[in-house]
Chain A
Amino acid sequence: MSNEAREAVGDYKAGWHDPEQSTIRFDAGLSEQVVRDISELKNEPEWMTDIRVKAYHHFMARPMPTWGSTELLNSIDFDKICYFLRSGDGTKGDWDEVPEDIKNTFEKLGIPDAEKKWLGGVTAQYESETIYHSIREDLESQGVIFLDMDAGLREYPEIVKKYFCSIIPYQDNKFSALNTAVWSGGSFLYVPKGVHVELPVQAYFRINSENMGQFERTLIVAEEGSSVSYIEGCSAPTYSSDSLHSAVVELIAMPGAYIRYTTIQNWSNNVYNLVTKRGVAYENSTIEWVDANVGSKLTMKYPAIILKGEGAHGEVISVAYAGEGMHQDAGAKVHHLASNTTSKILSKSISKDGGRGSYRGMVTVSKKADNCKVNVVCDALILDGKSRSDTYPTMEIKNSSCRCEHEASVSKVSDDQVFYLMSRGHSEDEAMALIVNGFFEPFIRELPMEYAVELNKLMALEMEGSIG
């Protein structure tokens, strides 16, 4: 990495970029033709082309949301973004076949290493397409399908057709429409009845080029009584102009199934991260979203769970870190549609150096859902006077038998707290990092060890130079 690049990147350690060597790069800008071209390039079935085109028209007609950060949203120049960029020549199943420069990128990020040590399967997406994919043989032999979404559509069109847009229709919001129109890559994960995937499977998303739009589409179906953990990590180089990441993730947990979806988002602060994530949980199933948002210019993301079957359980555990030039508008949505359903939301946010963290949450309990339990805790920590934290909680409880708990706190780091830690030999930065890591501890506890270590390191890095 050149000195110049390092200067621009600052402390963001995933901020380097490799020379772009794309084999196909679409011109910037969006049109019906671009959408049709993407679909044709991928040899998609007609129904997929149709839904893309419909979604495109919906996107064009749909106004921008008037909440969150309207100023930042309205500053996105959709004509400047490249909607499709192919860097390799197809997905590889053997790491050695991945083009050298892309391999280097992921090796710097520690991806193949992690796979060897503790993962059940990996996909790595570079720009628009997945460039590497693997799954452990034992999982494959049990009928577990873990593919990139394009391959999923090619090889299992009937499953994809059944669930695609079933949880998040393209009309859901402007960005789900955009994603549906131009989606590329993402994961398709199918776990057959009764199969427990013991090791987590992971996807890693990397944007390398400037003004890139990454629109991955992920679909996870866990059949009856099965279980799986999926982890995604994201990073991008630091450029002076912005990139857009707009994913759609749909989860289906059949009766008694368990899905945990973990995200460690570490985009550089020139990436708009506008993501729609939603899962449906049937009888006695569990869906958990574990969501860490450390980077990006603007994140708007509210992982949602629809508790459709009796006894279903949903959890959304999230942390957001809003540093200089960042706005994290994150939160959770849970809809209790059936009786004896339970949910837990734990949200922790930190704002620093003028960053802005917002918790936006919604919990609804429908009239016919008896004996539901809702627990919401949101804590915000503000590290200095120029930063900001807001909370927008909404609760609509239409059934009086619901037991609902809601706690919210906003705190500031006190000088005395920092002094206490400094008196034990910790510099100001170290003291801040100890306080911040402590604040996040209830979240970190939920992460697999390797990710907890990684996130701790990331936070310590963000805390460096936080004072003076």
Chain B
Amino acid sequence: MFGMESYGLTIRPRMASRGRTRLHKVGADPLKQSGFAVAEEGVLKIRDLHVEIGGEPILKGINLTLRKGEIHALMGRNGSGKSTLANVLMGHPDYDITGGTVTLDGEDLLELAAWERARKGVFLSFQYPQAVPGLKVGNFLRKSVQAVHGDDTLSAREFRAELNAAMEALDMDKKFLGRYVNDGFSGGEKKRFEILQLMLMKPRIAILDETDSGLDIDAMRTVANGINASVDNAACLIITHYQRILEHVQPDHVHVLIGGKIVASGGYELAVKLEEKGYEWLEQEASA
């Protein structure tokens, strides 16, 4: 696990070298080099995933593999199925899965309830975080981290230290801890709070659903730093409309979702191209 210092606002070195090969690649693993067969850890595999809501097909065969240390961006217009994918991965009960599989390190994720997935290390930063009046932020954070980490939970003191460091990194006032979860929060406060949870829960699979929407430039930079500090040990799926946040959290892979299918995948340059040219050229290609 990363230490407190990684919550700092220093920009990660990877920002400077776009598109370079990541250090964690399989070949660097000494166990692998020595010939031991080791199951990959922190690998989320989505295979031919079909999802409906109320009889209406939303996702029509998604294939995606996320590995520890990778940042994937999933882009697409409203209604393309981005948030559906996020909710399905987390285990929202409203969706009907009509085909395909999702596994985490080989284990069937779709069989598990949302809270079980959370305890396996899946985290969703919500597009619309829900308010729970009367439930204090501090209490909620401690309880949630305990729920997710189980026996590995930090002592109260260590937790407090991590919490303080993370809040400082996110430029959040201590008073925040005494407020009620998402109750009366501004849009920006909600997003910061999601990232605070991300930093404390240290998931293996982090799904960020439009975490950038409604943030001004400064807030976006702060939030992006929070994400960067958390993704070293996680596979990260960033769902967004815009290329903007990707300038700060640079993805290894960019995927474009149109009409429930991934129609294009590429590197960061794909996001840049989308920003310049919009989605139309892809839509034309997809329907051609």
Contact = CB atoms under 8 A, between A and B. Distances in A.
Nearest to B133: A438
Given A426-B115, A426-B143, A430-B147, A421 B93 contact: no
A439 B91 CA distance: 26
Interface in B108-161: 113-115, 117-119, 123-124, 126, 128-136, 140, 143-144, 147-148
Interface stretch (A49-57, A146-154, A364-372, A409-417): A409-417
Contacts of A442: 134
A419 interface: yes
B144 A425 contact: yes
B279 interface: no
Per DSSP, chain A at the interface is helix
A425 B119 contact: yes
Given A415-B94, A422-B118, A424-B144, A441 B126 contact: no
Interface of A: 414-417, 419-428, 430-431, 434-435, 437-442
Most buried by B among A428, A434, A438, A441: A438
Contact of A441 (B113, B134, B143, B148): B134
Most buried by A among B123, B131, B135: B135
A438 B143 contact: no
B118 A424 contact: yes
A417 B148 contact: no
Given A415-B94, A434-B143, A438-B180, A423 B134 contact: no
Contacts, number: 82
Contacts of B113: 422, 427-428
A215 B165 CA distance: 58
Interface residues on B, range: 20 to 34
B130 A434 contact: no
Contacts of A431: 115
Given A415-B94, A425-B147, A434-B140, A441 B130 contact: no
B197 interface: yes
A441 B197 CA distance: 22
Nearest to B141: A424
Contacts of A415: 93-94
28 contacts: A414-B130, A417-B130, A417-B131, A417-B132, A421-B132, A422-B114, A423-B90, A423-B91, A423-B114, A423-B115, A423-B118, A423-B126, A424-B115, A424-B140, A424-B147, A426-B144, A426-B147, A428-B115, A434-B132, A435-B135, A438-B133, A438-B134, A438-B180, A438-B181, A439-B134, A441-B134, A441-B135, A441-B136
Interface in B66-116: 90-94, 113-115
A420 B129 contact: yes
Nearest to A417: B130
